[in-house]
Structures are given as C-alpha cells and as structure tokens.
Amino acid sequence: MDKTVEPVVTTTAGKVEGYFREGLYVFKGIPYAAPPVGERRWLPPEPFKPWHGVRDAKKFNAIAPQNEQQIQIIRAPVHEPQTEDCLFLNLWTPGLDNAKRPVMVWIHGGGFTGGSGSGPGYNGTTLARRGNSVVVTINYRLGALGFMNLNEVTGGKIPATGNEGLLDQIAALKWVRDNIAAFGGDTGNVTIFGESAGGMSVGTLLAMPQARGLFHRAIPQSGAASTAQTIERAGQIAELFLQTVGIKANDIAALKALTPEQLVAAQGDFMMKVADSHPKLGNLPFSPVIDGKELPVMPLEAVKKGESTNVAVLVGSTLNEWGLFSLNDAAFATLTEPHAVARLRRFISADYIPGLLEAYRKARAKRGESISISDLFAAIQTDRMFRIPAVRLAEAKQKQKQPAYHYIYTWPSPALGGKLGACHAIELGFVFGSYEKNFSGEGPAADALSMKTQDAWLAFARNGDPSCESLGKWPTYGAKRETMLLGEKCALENDPYGEERKAWEAIPAGAMGGF
C-alpha cells in the first residue's frame, strides 16, 4: 500500500480511513455494533448498519457514560466525550497485508463502571511495533447500562440479563473474526487480555458459550474467573437502583426515558448507598450475572468442566493489590481488629476469619513483614479478590492438563513515598510501555521490567508460551505451583506466599462471598 496516502480498508460494514505514522497503520473509533440507544438500550448488541463511502477513523470516538473514577493517582484524568453510542474499537497494525500477525484484544478495567479503550495508558503502538502484532482496544457498555439485570424486576418487559457489557465484548470479538485479516491479523490467533474488571471479563468470557472459538489465548490481569453474581443478588441490586432513581418497576416508559446523565448520576448515588447501607451487595454491584443462559454457571466452574478447552491462560496479580484501594478508605490507617473482622464478615463466613488472620500473622512475621491489623486486612483482601482467584484458575487449567502460567507482579509504586507497594494497576504501564515516573517509576530497572513484561506477553500471544530470551524459561503452572515474580528482579519461584494460600484451601468458594 502507498504510505504517502492515508490507508483505506474495507470492513464488513464499509470502508474506513486511518493514518500511517512511524511505521504503523492506526485506525480509531471504528464502530463494531449498532448504537445501543433508544429501543436498543439494555438489549444485546446488533450489527452495525453498512454505510456508503469512506468513514473517517482517525480519532477516538465517544466512550460509555460513566462517573469520573475516584482513584486518579495513576495518571491525570482525560475527559473524553460520553454517549450511549459508544461501541467503538481502535487498532494498531504494522501492515495491511496477508502476514497473519497475532492479534491482541484489550478489555479495559474500571470496576465495570468506568474506563475506555482509548484511555491514555492503553496506546497499542509499543506492543504492535515490538511484537509485529495487531493490537485492538475496545469500549463496552458500563454500569447500569451494561451490567444491571432488569429482566427479573420488570417481569421480562426489559429483558436485560446484566451481561450486556459482556455481549458487547463478544460482538467486538466477532468483528475481529470477520475483519482483522484485512488489517494484517490472524483470525486463528487471537489473544484477549485485560486488567481488573477487564481481567474479570476475560475470565468470564472463558465460560460464555457465545464467546467459544472467538479467541485462542487469554491473559486475565488482576482478575480471573471468580467474579459473577447470582440472579437473586442481581435482582436485589436492580430493585435498590430503581428505588434510587425513584421509579417503580412497572413504569417501563419512565425507566427508558431516563437520560444517560440521569442514569450516571443515579449510579453514583446508588454506589454510595450500597457502601453505606447495603455492604453485603459487595464492592462490584454492577458485574457479570449468572443468568443461566449467556452465563450458565460461575465462570470457574465452567472452566473446570472444560468450557475453555484449548485456550491457554496467563494469569496473575500484583503483590499488594489493596494498596490502591486503601487510598479512599479514611479508616484504613486506624483500623482495629474488631473493625477488620466486621468488614471481612461481609465477604467471608465468620468461622474462617480467625484462622485466616492467624495464618497471615504467622506467615508475615516469619518473613519480617508488618503484622499491623491494617496490613493484615489489606493482604487478606488482596488475596481474596485477586491472587486466590488467579491461583484457582491456574489450578483448574492444570488439572485439565491445559497450559496455564502464573505470575505475581512485585514492582512497588514510588507514589506517596512507596506506601502503595506493588499495588493494583502497577503493571499496566509496563505492559503497554506507557509507564511514567510518578506512579510507575523510571530508570534502567523500570525499562528492563517493561521490556521483559512485553516480551512475555507478546511471546504468549504468538505461541501460547511466555518464555522468552529476556525472561528465560517460564514453565506451566503444575504440581510445584511454578510462579514468575516480576519486579526489579524477575525470578521463578515455587508456591510463593504458600502459607497464606494454604489458609484459603479450607474455605470453599461459597464461603468467600461476593465482590
């Protein structure tokens, strides 16, 4: 293709024009499904109606309606236009040819209520260039518009299952299947990867029948296959949300007439109400729903039954995930043991809590780490929400003799004098090459870690094995619980933090509560 003119590619819906810069073809704001507006609100995504002529794809498009994220220490917020018409994707590719490059589809995080595929930390340039790969980032519906089950509370008049955001992700993967060859990608080698709610989405897609065959490898970062709520709990959440907006369940017209701005404002009020008065509804009231159809069972159970056979998994977490969330917790620094126990009882059956605290106290003391009640609470929450779900997904794959690789990111953030530790989201800048000094740090060690992380992720996307020259051999997770520690020093370790892990073995998933 003539690189002196802007590139035009024909998709199944029509032609799109991107741009060529610094060795990459870039296309932004491509619609992958019809706008979910009007009568399409709260319904599964539908194909985009074909257009005539050439559609401009040189700039990012609108993102899903959302409140500004509360935790902004990672980087300064970027104010992007928001509308319900938000189902767009962006891609970076080294060539518009038949090279059949590996494809990496990024699913952003944000607690299922925020974020976008066009966030400044998710630029696909570095991965596409270093890995000779095609990188795709997507938007999907969020919060009350994407993850609220209205079917039960409205008697089917609004048939939303609460999985519409996930169905958007599947629609994006179908677009990739049907179009990525025209952008130099290999339809038979697609890796999905995501962090936090994006990682949880990746873990859930492993279990969804509609997603079967649309991807071939998966990288859930700080999220695995243990985040989904029962239909009963989803119904309670919908009822409470309707109370918040002051609309009765049978007033369908009023519900559909709410503007996106009204929904987002109500969503903010609702989240505060849940935190203050309904803590047992969890930290993620908007999240995937086990509806018996789109998501038949808990994702981990589906994986155990072989739903994601032949999909290799690279899964992990950061060492101090909870460090980031403690920032918005005014009582964290002065937490007492009775208060910590009361908090844990929202998520863990009371009978198991004393044993957990004792196990963590002993293990941390043996390593010379802090055993303050705040630090014990943070370590338990880190493992409950992130590390143990990652371990259990790796275990499930290993028992099926399916390839799984496990990691723990140990690089500490320098922010706030280092008090955050290797916190939630610390690996993002290293994966995308977008790390900056305030949150991620800088210097030769940071550069080396980013190179090794990218090499491993790209190797996994190319051939299903993260082993690479810069990092060395990375064996599959097996009987020795082989785990790669990724930090200033990268090294393979068998069963790191094993004493804490063993403490969870006696706790069945049903006793761990929700998220």
pLDDT of residue 282: 83
* Catalytic machinery residues: 196, 321, 424
Task: Transcribe 168-235 into DSSP letters.
Answer: HHHHHHHHHHHHGGGGTEEEEEEEEEEETHHHHHHHHHTT-GGGTTS-SEEEEES--S---B-HHHHH
Whether the per-residue pLDDT at 48 is higher than 60: the answer is: yes
Determine the pLDDT at residue 276: 81
Q: What is the pLDDT of residue 277?
A: 82
**pLDDT at site 74:** 66
Per-residue pLDDT at 3: 58
pLDDT band, residue 329 (cuts 50/70/90): confident
Does 312 score more than 90 pLDDT?
Answer: yes
Say yes or no: do domains 8-281 and 326-511 share a fold.
Answer: yes
Say if residue 178 is exposed, middle or buried (CB neighbours under 10 Å; 0-12, 13-18, 19+). Answer: middle
Of the candidate ranges 85-94, 194-203, 501-510, the one whose mean pLDDT is the lowest = 501-510
The predicted pLDDT at position 167 comes to 98
What is the mean predicted confidence (pLDDT) over 299-310? Answer: 95
CA geometry: angle 8, 12, 14, nearest 5 deg: 45
Angstrom distance (rounded) from CA 342 to CA 337: 9
DSSP conformational letter for 326: G
Q: What is the pLDDT of residues 194-216, one digit of tens each?
A: 999 999 999 999 999 999 999 99
Closest C-alpha to 28, from 119, 108, 131, 129: 119
* Distance (Å) of CA 435 to CA 60, 162, 442: 21, 34, 8
3-state secondary structure at position 160: coil
Q: Quote the pLDDT of residue 76.
A: 63
pLDDT at 263 over 90: yes
Please check the confidence at residue 512 and state whether its pLDDT lies above 80. no
Give dist(CA 357, CA 137) in Å, integer: 40
468, β-bridge pairs = 472
Residue 1, pLDDT above cutoff 60: no
The per-residue pLDDT for range 371-425, each reduced to its tens digit, is: 999 999 999 999 999 999 999 999 999 999 999 999 999 999 999 999 999 999 9
Structural class in CATH, domain 8-281: alpha beta
Instruction: Give the model's pLDDT for residue 409.
Output: 98
| Beta carbons of 289 and 159 less than 8 angstroms apart | no
Confidence of residue 509 (pLDDT cuts 50, 70, 90): confident
- Report the chain's mean pLDDT, rounded to a whole number: 95
pLDDT digits (tens, 9 = 90+) for 109-147: 999 999 999 998 999 999 999 999 999 999 999 999 999
Fold of the domain spanning 326-511: Rossmann fold (3.40.50)
Question: Does 2 score more than 60 pLDDT?
Answer: no
pLDDT exceeds cutoff 70 at 100: yes
Q: Read out DSSP for 373-439?
A: HHHHHHHHHHIIIIIHHHHHHHHHHHHTT--EEEEEE-PPP-GGGGTT-S-TTTTHHHHHT---TTT
**How confident is residue 357, by pLDDT bands cut at 50, 70 and 90?**
very high
Domain range list for the chain: 8-281, 326-511
The alpha helices in 31-189, defined as continuous H runs, are 125-131, 143-146, 164-179
